[in-house]
Structure 1
């Protein structure tokens, strides 16, 4: 090839760097090695997970922590089936992720010839967990396809995008200098008539309520302004925690299925919902259909979302920040005081009275995190402490609390996602909260973190069981089959991977362990046994 000619794989990494991608998670395979030829000429960091699902979870945690997508380089066939679960989690929670994979050569697509890693159709497999999946049949089309992906990341509901490149296209020559990426589209703004109507209703409301979801994290400043201007209590879903600071008098806790908040939705004369789908996974452990007694105003970048699960009296299809800022400007000085702080305090008091015992137990855990690392990013799995944290934890700012108990709901997410979050925000402490069962799904990723020099505090709630399922089975009078599990000794697991391990017996020891873990350059497993001294001091039953 001439000096100005590169392979399609080399051109890809040139374009990724031009789009601002600075981290790639991937496991090289015989079909994808050409994607690596051009990496040394870029500033892109490559991190090698131990499983493609880990690559997807790392990319997910990276994006949630900083708001920018990372990329994953995935081998054909089993690599794609492995990452599909992670893409499902990201799809459900509207997380941007760029997945680049190989696929069999163009002449073999769909032919069923038994080629290495062959699937009938990778695109069909991935269609349900991606904004789109595209097969690149001509290397000259690469700039256009990437532009389409980054347009979605910039101006639509963000979700994973998959681009597969046949193995004969990856090595195909591409002549000429790399094409500069086109300007990304501006996010959609709100219709002025809709903003006017929303402002009229909100200004006249006597009992307004705001609900903000994960789609609203980019609008935190404006939404706080709206809450204060309207003197309206503000409920944030799990992925929106941090829109209000922890001590804000208008902030609510718990979940919308708990009686005080459920009744408040019906009592409010106007509910302003921004970037939330009112998902049932937000309402653990007893989700139920929500009832709105007054007018419901919905702001969402996805037009389909405005009609489910509850029809709105007014739907505004727009970027959350643009719409919230426009609405705040239209409200002007605001309608005056409405006892919002008193309403919020009453709702918090009555909600907290209904929380189950585990919430009070694990309040000690989150208090320790707050004491040791007040600006930490907390990444959770599906485990008892995380379900409790969803009800009680107040994050210091947005992009500081997320977990796998919402949306798709997959075990093993938290460990690799926490590593991705630390790479995205190296200046912040990151805490992973995971159960012993979930840890065993993705424990090999500890080695990935050691290789990459990632220091994360990994709190392991160890009850030698799939504890949440065991509790549910007992509640349904079912035999508890398959939920009591053994596992490795965590001290030896940590040692084998080159990590640290500590098992604190006192709150002060836990606070010290968290602080030390944040200063380390390898993960620290902080083991809390459900039947141990520390958990018993919190009032845990040890189940």
Structure 2
């Protein structure tokens, strides 16, 4: 007999799933019956939240959904935070959980791992949640999930299998072909309208978000054709390379870029929420647009949030850019063009604003000198906050973190593990603070077990330093921020990791060059000279 759980594994493998993150439990072991010998790699985190963060990092790098096997009850409540982060950043994640038998659902009799309603609980962090009430439903529900991942704004999907369904007979079931989904193309007449407005613009501005990460070549061509200064959200970093004459970086919250936004006569925003944590990290509500706004987004609802456009176009970002380019005159980016001159003027002002950040710039210069093709996966910590403004990389999907949107702590370590599993040949640097690392510290064991050679750059200020400064700026007596910080290097070594404190930048170079490939290296950097002048 082939059980439903076994059939599920075969169907996932047939549709290209090669990695599953999960912790076996008495309510999920039947999901595991078909995994041995299937060709699907199983990664065991030390907490279901870690499973979700790993799946998130894997999905951002691979472009494929991150898949998790989760037990009912505490497994689901544990993974919800990770699903919230993925939901906020439009990341495809498939969470497959168990749930109590069909005849026990919602009875409240105290069965093992019982919750009143898992679907209701996950509703706010999923595109949809479904309870499988028969074996025959499975292929269709999976097809719905992959339609979300590939045909619309990607977000987590939750499918729960009652215990009696997981072990039910599925011998009669045949594997279904993978659904062939294409993302919606924009309305051609609206694209022509947008192109006409952009052709007449004298001071255009281009705003690109994470919805554009698959359109790197198109983004560069469009920026040049429009001769438009271009600002990128954190999740869009790398769409334009370092030194590009039209690149403003991710500095929309700073006065020079804000003034440029006010002065622009036409603003084209593609694949971006225009949200607070990318455009207003100082939280003063002063990011404003002076000219008419054209918005392009795959999510029709998002087109009207935060800023109301003069022209709203629903459709896939990559297709939209290609259609726009067909209406525009192709051009090469030039350092002498009017748009480049506007960009250069802003960059000169930003250089003055960042004059006091030379120590952070030197830190990242050192990292990229040794590992020029590194990917950076971050938490909410000072190296991430500074790098969001300072670091530019050649290529999308090389810089992402949890400092924007949902903004959870503990993300950086497990997400870096997932990122390394998705592309093992590229170095991965996890940017963590000592406070955030303690949220998911046990995932070091997962990385050692899976032989994942990531580098954890641990910025240690012995507490929640950024929150402490935030409290002090508001005349609030710091409380709960000067936390006890254990010897994290000793703990890391106990997990089987390599761990050292960098004495200076030269020592940091030496540590980076000698990083092991089969286990994490934790490099502690103290928030003190030489890394942070006092």
C-alpha distance 287-137 of structure 1, shift in aligned 2 (>3 A)? farther
Question: Is structure 2 residue 414 aligned with structure 1 residue 421?
Answer: no
Question: Is structure 2 residue 355 aligned with structure 1 residue 362?
Answer: no
Match of 2:530 in 1: 537
SS at 2:439's partner residue?
Answer: helix
Match of 2:406 in 1: 408
Q: CA deviation at 1:506?
A: 1.8
How many residues align? The count is 531
Deviates further, 440-449 or 324-333: 324-333
Q: In 2, distance between residues paired with 1:391 and 1:423?
A: 27
Equivalent of 1:321, from 311, 318, 322?
Answer: 318
- Asked if 1 retains the 8 angstrom alpha-carbon contact of 2:230 and 2:249, the reply is no
Q: In 1, distance between residues paired with 2:174 and 2:344?
A: 57
Equivalent of 1:151, from 138, 147, 152?
Answer: 147
TM-score, normalisation: structure 2? 0.97
Superposed CA deviations along residues 390-413 of structure 1, whole A, max 9, x for unmatched, are 111102210000001011111110
Match of 2:307 in 1: 310
Q: CA deviation at 1:516?
A: 2.3
Q: In 2, distance between residues paired with 1:93 and 1:515?
A: 33
Q: In 2, distance between residues paired with 1:516 and 1:259?
A: 42
Q: CA deviation at 1:509?
A: 1.6
Match of 2:289 in 1: 292
Q: In 2, distance between residues paired with 1:251 and 1:410?
A: 28
- Asked if 1 retains the 8 angstrom alpha-carbon contact of 2:223 and 2:230, the reply is yes
Q: CA deviation at 1:184?
A: 2.4
Q: Equivalences for 1:325-340 in 2 at 5 Å? A: 325-333=322-330, 338-340=337-339
- Asked if 2 retains the 8 angstrom alpha-carbon contact of 1:455 and 1:524, the reply is yes
Deviates further, 113-122 or 347-356: 347-356
Superposed CA deviations along residues 425-449 of structure 1, whole A, max 9, x for unmatched, are 1110000000000000000000000
- Asked if 2 retains the 8 angstrom alpha-carbon contact of 1:257 and 1:288, the reply is no
- Asked if 2 retains the 8 angstrom alpha-carbon contact of 1:280 and 1:287, the reply is no
Match of 1:379 in 2: 377
Gaps of 5+ in 2: none
Superposed CA deviations along residues 246-267 of structure 1, whole A, max 9, x for unmatched, are 1211111242121111111111
Match of 2:206 in 1: 210
- Asked if 1 retains the 8 angstrom alpha-carbon contact of 2:234 and 2:250, the reply is no
Superposed CA deviations along residues 441-481 of structure 1, whole A, max 9, x for unmatched, are 00000000000000001000001010110010010011111
Deviates further, 197-206 or 76-85: 197-206
Match of 2:18 in 1: 22
Match of 2:493 in 1: 495
Question: Is structure 2 residue 242 aligned with structure 1 residue 243?
Answer: no
Question: Is structure 2 residue 162 aligned with structure 1 residue 166?
Answer: yes
Question: Is structure 2 residue 46 aligned with structure 1 residue 53?
Answer: no
Q: In 1, distance between residues paired with 2:348 and 2:44?
A: 47
- Asked if 1 retains the 8 angstrom alpha-carbon contact of 2:224 and 2:333, the reply is no
- Asked if 1 retains the 8 angstrom alpha-carbon contact of 2:303 and 2:309, the reply is yes
- Asked if 2 retains the 8 angstrom alpha-carbon contact of 1:430 and 1:457, the reply is yes
Q: CA deviation at 1:287?
A: 4.7
TM-score, normalisation: structure 1? 0.95
Question: Is structure 2 residue 517 aligned with structure 1 residue 520?
Answer: yes
**Superposition RMSD on alpha carbons, in Å?**
1.5
Q: CA deviation at 1:290?
A: 2.9
Superposed CA deviations along residues 333-357 of structure 1, whole A, max 9, x for unmatched, are 4699851111111111212322484
C-alpha distance 336-41 of structure 1, shift in aligned 2 (>3 A)? closer
Q: Equivalences for 1:262-273 in 2 at 5 Å? A: 262-273=258-269
C-alpha distance 333-408 of structure 1, shift in aligned 2 (>3 A)? closer
Q: In 1, distance between residues paired with 2:210 and 2:514?
A: 31
Q: In 2, distance between residues paired with 1:334 and 1:253?
A: 21
Q: CA deviation at 1:374?
A: 0.9
Q: In 2, distance between residues paired with 1:539 and 1:502?
A: 18
C-alpha distance 287-162 of structure 1, shift in aligned 2 (>3 A)? farther
Q: CA deviation at 1:329?
A: 1.5
